Amino acid sequence: MCESRPLNSQSMVATLTSTPPSFLPLWRRKLPTYNPTQCLGTGKEALEISSNGYIKTNTIGFPEKGISTRPRTSSTPRPPRPRRIILVRHGESEGNVDETVYTRVPDPKIDLTEKGKAEAEECGWRIREMIEKDGANDWKVYFYVSPYKRTLETLRHLGLAFERSRISGMREEPRIREQDFGNFQDREKMRLDKALRLRYGRFFYRFPNGESAADVYDRITGFRETLKADIDIGRFQPPGEQSPNVNLIIVSHGLALRVFLMRWYKWTVQQFEGLNNMGNGNLIVMQKGYGGRYSLSMHHNEEELREFGLTDEMLIDQEWQKTARIGELNYDCPMVNSFFPHFEDEGCIT
């Protein structure tokens, strides 16, 4: 048996000073100095490695903060923008086949059907075929994916078309998830809510305990800013690489992708409500034009875009996007001319 003896003040001091640091109170511990650049070697090496080798800044870990505060030089060129941003809707899900599934299974956990898995894999091969037509040898793909089960399954099957060396990375992005439809345990109430949405408007109607498309627009706006920052700093390539042949693939849901396009091209609510949902396992391609901006007309023909719901004004704008340079504004925007009826007297209607 161990003998227990009371400690006097001197023995208490001796005990504290001899106690291992991990058992001392936090206020008595001498904590090691942490150098955030240790894992990268010297501080100079950390600065050279950060920002894909293109922005040298003292904001280690947050290179995008240096974009506007440090002038570019010939030694720090802007990374080339990805060649395409490819929007993919998930393959057919069990909820697409039978709406009663929503009354039994939480929306984020709904599976793909076997047909949906096949659609996803076919979509992957279509994307690969499109990219290989460019004739480049150094092409890669980078994925953003909604965290819902049907989108993750879509990505897994879509990815079968690409070997590891062609995939530069992926990121699960909750902001591109499906519109939250609320609690759908009651099938009849679900039907009523969807009927009310058609009457009230697809953009502004908010499902009880859920979201409206306007709510989705707000979180897609945040995602767009992240995506733009990622493009600006070249986050999709290993340090030092500057290939223009990276293709971004966003695997998401029908409404979220339509809202993404609305936000990117600054379409109006009326224009959004005229859009049609793309089919399961289908894609829409935003391809880099001659001036560096992304245009739907670079890949899709007029018939395809009209089928998706683009109007004359939207098609004219996509043609402008094909040749416009980054940062330019379309001062000849046909929407402005058509919005104000008194311009007819000035001969401004296009």
210 is in an annotated binding site: no
Distance CA 89, CA 285 (A): 12
State how far the alpha carbon of 3 is from the alpha carbons of 6, 14, 83, 287, in Å: 10, 18, 76, 80
Instruction: Tell whether residue 266 is among the known ligand binding residues.
Output: no
Is 91 labeled as ligand-binding? yes
Q: How far apart are CA 67 and CA 243, in angstroms?
A: 20
Tell me if 159 is assigned to a ligand binding site: no
316 residue type, one letter: I
Q: Please check whether residue 200 is in contact with residue 116, taking contact to mean a CB–CB distance below 8 angstroms.
A: no
90 in a labelled binding site: yes
* Distance linking the first and last C-alpha atoms of the chain: 99
The active-site residue out of 119, 153, 178, 313 is 178
150 annotated to bind ligand: yes
328 among annotated binding-site residues: no
90 in catalytic set: yes
Binding-site residue numbers for substrate are 89-96, 150, 189
- Residues known to be catalytic: 90, 178
Binding-site residue numbers are 89-96, 150, 189
